[in-house]
């Protein structure tokens, strides 16, 4: 009898150990790989601190309000001019996670803002890999619906035209090809040049619409180039975050809102300070017309974006998104628990984040 009790005690003890161990193993990893984490639990003051060990302390502008969050505290934004500014770039991001509670009056279509769910403005392009982007809303993978192709020629079968800001630039159809046949666009610039190149059939844009813009590019040398969408004779529709060209083909993908309706949008690449040639191919511009994600206003929704290649977030904002140089859309609603990871979270991990199982760390400490 004694040995039976001992055995039972041992069984209970081992079960307890395994129970504790499983919590620790299953959820501790979600803390691993964070390269930015704003809990937004401060509750007062003008700063939002990064608890991942980074230095990117957020500064509150125009007094967003500390409020009750999905987890402890959060920040509420008025939709007029309130936001949090993050001063420095964060590089090597593979996963973004955050919670957002859009107000009932929120006009963002299905929770989408610039560069996808826009708690983070200017989170930039991602390149390399296949540029696959997996989005989760409230723990479930979501899919986007794209409109028809808005570029009339993705294979450069017609001659290019070029308009340049400075002397000496040229653009040609080149036999170097990444996508299809027979050509790509080769743009050669002098130092500091900014170039438009275009073909017949310039894409039209609609004010307020969200677009997915992607292309393949490579350079004669490594260089940084800034893509710009421009309306002829006016200011740019949008300045997109800079991209780092390499001597090998990489695909670049951007999401942006158009702040105007225009019948002809030009594809502009602002060159580096040095003379360079670069090639562009497989340009694609499509409107994001729908989203399978189910988002309810005035409740907390969880958003996660996972990419198959690292990307950078340039000096950015929480609570507003850029639609043009100096023009922003502001969030009416609340944001909580913004995280950047340097690794791709699995679907299981996204589900755990969604269920707040991260608190298992605290649970473990109770023992």
* Site of interaction with Ca ion (CB under 5 A): 39-41, 69, 71-73, 155, 177, 179-180, 184, 281, 336
| Cβ atoms 40, 77 nearer than 8 A | no
Tokens of residue 232, six digits: 């002829």
CB atoms within 10 A of CB 355: 12
Minimal distance in Å, beta carbon 345 to Ca ion? 19
Minimal distance in Å, beta carbon 155 to Ca ion? 5
Q: Going by DSSP bridges, is the β-strand pair 83-86/133-137 parallel, antiparallel, or unpaired? A: unpaired
Complex with Ca ion: residue 311 or 340, whichever CB lies closer: 340
Complex with Ca ion: residue 17 or 72, whichever CB lies closer: 72
| Cis geometry, peptide bond prior to residue 91 (ω within 30 degrees of 0) | no
Minimal distance in Å, beta carbon 216 to Ca ion? 9
Query: From CA 340, how far away is CA 349, in angstroms rounded?
Result: 14
Complex with Ca ion: residue 66 or 126, whichever CB lies closer: 66
| CA 2 and chain centroid, separation | 62
Nearest alpha carbon to residue 101 among 336, 259, 312: 336
Complex with Ca ion: residue 144 or 281, whichever CB lies closer: 281
Minimal distance in Å, beta carbon 101 to Ca ion? 12
Complex with Ca ion: residue 172 or 310, whichever CB lies closer: 172
Nearest alpha carbon to residue 192 among 272, 99, 264: 272
Minimal distance in Å, beta carbon 38 to Ca ion? 8
Torsion of CA 87, 89, 94, 100, to 10 degrees: 20
Nearest to Ca ion by Cβ — which residue?
69
């Amino acid at each position: 009898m004694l040995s039976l009790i001992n055995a039972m005690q041992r069984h209970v003890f081992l079960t307890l150990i395994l129970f504790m161990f499983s919590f620790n193993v299953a959820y501790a990893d979600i803390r691993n790989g964070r390269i930015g984490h704003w809990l937004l639990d401060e509750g007062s003051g003008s700063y939002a601190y990064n608890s991942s060990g980074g230095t990117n302390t957020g500064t509150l502008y125009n007094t967003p309000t500390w409020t009750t969050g999905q987890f402890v505290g959060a920040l509420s934004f008025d939709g007029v001019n309130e936001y949090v500014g993050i001063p420095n770039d964060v590089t090597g991001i593979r996963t973004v996670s955050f919670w957002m509670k859009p107000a009932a009056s929120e006009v963002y279509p299905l929770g989408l803002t610039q560069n996808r769910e826009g708690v983070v403005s200017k989170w930039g392009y991602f390149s390399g890999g296949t540029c696959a982007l997996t989005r989760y809303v409230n723990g479930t993978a979501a899919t986007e619906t794209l409109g028809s192709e808005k570029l009339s020629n993705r294979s450069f079968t017609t001659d290019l035209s070029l308009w340049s800001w400075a002397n000496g630039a040229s653009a040609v159809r080149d036999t170097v090809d990444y996508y299809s046949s027979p050509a790509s666009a080769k743009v050669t610039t002098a130092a500091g040049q900014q170039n438009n190149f275009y073909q017949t059939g310039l894409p039209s844009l609609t004010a307020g619409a969200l677009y997915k813009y992607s292309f393949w590019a490579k350079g004669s040398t490594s260089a940084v180039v800034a893509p710009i969408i421009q309306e002829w004779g006016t200011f740019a529709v949008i300045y997109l975050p800079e991209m780092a060209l390499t001597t090998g083909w990489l695909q670049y993908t951007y999401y942006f809102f158009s702040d105007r309706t225009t019948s002809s949008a030009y594809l502009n690449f602002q060159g580096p300070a040095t003379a360079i040639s670069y090639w562009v191919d497989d340009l694609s511009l499509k409107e994001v017309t729908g989203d399978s994600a189910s988002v309810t206003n005035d409740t907390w929704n969880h958003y996660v974006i996972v990419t198959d290649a690292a990307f950078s977030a340039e000096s950015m904002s929480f609570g507003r998104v850029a639609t043009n140089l100096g023009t922003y859309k502001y969030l009416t609603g609340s944001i909580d628990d913004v995280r950047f990871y340097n690794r791709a979270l699995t679907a299981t991990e996204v589900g755990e984040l969604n269920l707040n199982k991260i608190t298992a760390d605290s649970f473990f400490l109770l023992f």
